[in-house]
Amino acid sequence: MARLVSVNVGVPTNIPGTGTLTGIYKQPVSGPVKIETGGLAHDVIADRHHHGGADQAVYIYFLADYAYWAGEGIEPEPGLFGENLTIDGPDSKTCCVGDRLAMGEVILEVTYHRTPCMTFAAKMGDPRWLKRFHKARRSGAYCRVIRPGTVEAGMDISITPYAGERISVAELMGFDGVADIPRDFMTRALTTPIRAKTRFKYENRLAALF
């Protein structure tokens, strides 16, 4: 049984050195928090072109992956990577597209991995952060909301593994920026409930091969 360690909500904050607002600076909150189909109530998503939406409504990160970063000299704390939910249970190598996480009445479904951006690098204060994060493949996972409801830190989480093709978010992240993604991988991925944007991309690439 996994456990919900922390529920984290962001407020509008300026990216260091710019006048641009971001919601990546998330802090743990106490008490119940409502999760709606679009994400956590009162959470800020400043850049809705790249973040948010039904397929990326909730971002989760794992204590097991934070343990890796602790060994890399980064002091972990809930919300550090801008995640909505910090979870003690699986990690990015075992969490797969289509896995469902149930906590109370809420059900989430894993759809994709997190791709690091310049805002993330600015928050971490490390110009090499994008390469470090990608190389580690400790991405955490985006989820869609299958059933909304209320969550609170300390809740137990029941995980139902996807019964079809097992594609971990770490494996998926390995194909970021790859021009020639193997046909068999794309075919496998399309049998899962992967996010719509990537489904469209893979379908078009496969169609071009014929």
Return the percentage of the chain with pLDDT > 70, whole number. Answer: 96
Q: What is the dihedral of CA 128, 134, 138, 141, to 10 degrees?
A: 120
**pLDDT of amino acid 13:** 82
Count, residues in the chain:
210
Choices 2.40.33.20, 3.30.1490.20, 3.40.50.280, 2.60.40.420: CATH for 2-175:
2.40.33.20
Q: Which helix (H) or strand (E) holds 41?
A: none
pTM (2 decimals)?
0.94
Per-domain residue ranges of the chain? 2-175
At 210, the pLDDT band (50, 70, 90 cuts) reads confident
Query: Which amino acid, residue 196?
Result: A
